[in-house]
Amino acid sequence: MTLSKIERKIIEDSIRDIKDFPKPGIVFKDITTLLNDKEAYSVLMNHLYQRYKEYNLDYIAGIDARGFIFGAALAQMLGLGFVPIRKKGKLPYTTISEKYSLEYGVDEIEVHIDAFSKVKNAKVLMIDDLIATGGTANAAATLINQTGAECVEACFIIGLSFLDGIDNLKTKTDVYSLIEVN
């Protein structure tokens, strides 16, 4: 299931571009304007519900922090549990972690070791707002699979297809981005 032209326009028109943020030459895709636009947010969440209602998912995993907004709402709509994938040091119980490269260094995310344990071989949808170089998303997919669950698809509101993140992530899981920016 893909967005209709009207749905795509509603969502695209609700996303604000901010030039030179966080540094010169970058055009930041600000989704806060999508979130406070009740029509756009409703169109988005209804589309995601329609797309994933027949996937027989067990969990939605959202990547810290904007993936929480979409993931928790979608999990509630689908009647599923939600699992946060957090930056290192934010989860209170035993975790597993995965490091990934940044432009200037390394970062790390983690998930509770028992996050998906209520369902054997759990099918998990991973979600976040945007995929660029894909470092965080690749690390998150690795974490999900390391728990014994299966990351069946990674969903992003925006995919920056001029970078290699989508192609790299496709080696681990299916990828769906609602809006692709070339």
101: CATH: 3.40.50.2020
Q: Which helix (H) or strand (E) holds 84?
A: strand 81-87
Please state which of the ranges 5-19, 55-69, 96-110, 146-160 shows the lowest mean pLDDT: 96-110
Range of the domain at 117: 5-181
Q: Give the residue numbers marked as catalytic.
A: 66, 103
What digits encode the pLDDT tens for the residues 51-108?
999 999 999 999 999 999 999 999 999 999 999 999 999 999 999 999 999 877 899 9
Would you state the structure tokens that stand for residue 152, as one six-digit string?
Answer: 């069946």
Whether 91 contacts 112, CB under 8 Å: yes
Q: Tally the domains of the chain.
A: 1
* 72: number of Cβ within 10 Å: 16
pLDDT tens per residue across span 135-144: 999 999 999 9
**Matching residue, tokens 């698809």:** 153
